[in-house]
Amino acid sequence: MRYLGLIDADRRSMLDAIGVDSIDALYHDVPEVAVLKTPLGLPGHTGEMEVEQQIAKLVSTNRRAGAGACFLGAGSYNHHVPASVDHLIQRGEFLTSYTPYQPEILQGTLQYLFEFQTQIAMITGMGVASASHYDGATACAEAVLMARPLTKRPGVILSGGVHPHYAATVSTNVQYFESGLVTLPPADPRLEGDLAAQINDRTACVVVQNPDVFGRLHDVEPIAEAAHEASALLVMVVTEPVSLGLVRAPGDMGPDIVAAEGQAIGNSLNFGGPCLGLFATREKFMRQMPGRIAGEVRDADGHRGWVLTLSAREQHIRREKATSNICTNSGLCAPAFTIHLALLGEDGYRRLAELNHAKEIELADGLAVLSGVDLINDSIFNEFTIRLTINAAGIVETLAADDIFAGVSASRLFPGTSDSANLLIVAATERNNTDEIERYCHALRRVI
């Protein structure tokens, strides 16, 4: 047998060692509503070959992004990843242990983390960056958890333009702290005025996103000024890192912490992942930053090498002293990001951003002339939102049958919000050619 189950004596021995009466007692903190009353409706055991056949059948029901004209966005983007990226990350010096506990045998891992940090600090315009996080949503939650002890305040204000998955992750992580989470309505475009009015002497941080979940670009400098005037911090979220090749760098607008998603660079769109968290902050907050930092050193002979300079997570130090316990490193996604960005170079990075912006303008111009389509954005990068005269979720399903992935219905992200039913979030990247854009416009005209 591949799995040898525990016998009752084994269970009893472990429960006695822990000091509880039953297995149920281990889950006393889980809310009753979340506890299953009956077993999951899973199929019974079967042979390996039959399992493989069943999984293959399930996989065949999925639709790959490359199987049609893809205009999906809202946090995960369909960019081209050069074949050289996949080839290079599989080299032995990079495809190594998950965590570089022994620097003397993991110099390749530490070197790419050092380069990765340097790239993130440069594109965000911040003083220091960490050696990657799990994903953008948990990086956002980490930023909030970092801001509270720094300011010794409980309050958190989330802009309505922050991706709802990020907002939900923040909510989960602060739910047992002193109450103070304020989440603004999602569809209100008056970012600066609404947020500034919410800041008070209990506010630890304000969280904004640029471009926001609807694709709108904002100048967040007024929010930074309002936050700093009240001795609060500004957290800026970025879900589309390609935008940083063209739009104003976050660091130029005054944030104290930048939390971002890096999937769009080096990591292809595989049903929404894999994801890669980016985290940067001001240098004065470096020792409060969750995660770890790879640093450059010189040995006794003057040769350059790399070590973990700061390791403030609980894998390395005592749990009560750790800055975080959810900042797991995306060990293979980080070198993919680093290699792709290095291949692009500064000029290539800017050119890629320009191509994305041009494709989005081409798409926006094509959709704007259609009857029943209203563009609600006036400043965009490679994503925008349209308001339709009919249900957006139905449009997505209809066009998918024609191998056109039309976008993400806002009702999927904001269920139960009355204003979201007819909103469709649409993205275009360098992979969308003119034929695909014209086919999308024609199909949408026909359906409407």
pLDDT tens, N- to C-terminus, the chain (448 residues): 455 678 889 999 999 999 999 988 988 889 988 888 888 888 888 889 999 999 999 888 888 888 889 999 999 999 999 999 999 988 877 776 556 667 777 788 888 999 999 999 999 999 999 988 889 999 999 999 999 999 999 999 999 899 999 999 999 988 888 768 888 877 544 455 568 888 999 999 999 999 999 999 999 999 999 999 999 999 999 999 999 999 999 999 999 999 999 999 999 887 667 899 999 999 999 988 888 889 999 988 999 998 888 876 555 556 666 666 666 667 789 999 999 999 999 999 999 999 999 999 999 999 999 999 999 887 899 999 999 999 999 999 999 999 999 999 999 999 877 778 999 999 999 999 999 999 999 999 999 9
Give ∠ CA 176-199-202 in degrees, rounded to 5: 45
Identify the CA nearest to 209 among candidates 231, 241, 174.
Answer: 241
Q: What is the pLDDT of residue 108?
A: 83
Q: Is 201 buried (19+), middle (13-18) or exposed (0-12) by CB count in 10 A?
A: exposed
Q: What is the pLDDT of residue 187?
A: 53
Helices (H), 179-275: 191-198, 221-229
Tell me the C-alpha distance between 423 and 214, whole Å.
9
| Number of neighbouring beta carbons within 10 Å of residue 44 | 4
Report which residue type is found at 376: I
Q: Which residues does 390 contact at the CB level (< 8 Å), separation at least 6?
A: 372, 422, 448
Listed in order, the ranges of the chain carrying CATH 3.40.640.10 are 83-341
Helix (H) or strand (E) holding 354: helix 333-368
Could you tell me which CATH number the domain at 83-341 has? Answer: 3.40.640.10
Tell me the C-alpha distance between 353 and 11, whole Å.
57
What are the strands, taking DSSP E only, across 107-231? Answer: 128-129, 155-158, 181-183, 203-209
Largest Cα span, the chain: 73
Q: Is 438 left (phi over 0), alpha (psi -120 to 50) or beta?
A: alpha
Identify the CA nearest to 413 among candidates 392, 427, 431, 428.
Answer: 392
Question: What's the token pair of residue 1?
Answer: 């047998």
Could you tell me which CATH number the domain at 66-79+347-447 has? Answer: 3.90.1150.10
* pLDDT tens digits, 37-60: 888 888 888 889 999 999 999 888
Listed in order, the ranges of the chain carrying CATH 3.90.1150.10 are 66-79+347-447
Q: What is the pLDDT of residue 328?
A: 64
β-strands 277-281, 257-261 pairing: antiparallel
Q: What is the pLDDT of residue 385?
A: 95
Identify the CA nearest to 162 among candidates 130, 203, 205, 204.
Answer: 205
pTM comes to 0.87
DSSP string, 282-345: -GGGGGG-SSEEEEEEE-TTS-EEEEEEEE-BTTTS-GGG-SBSS----TTHHHHHHHHHHHHH
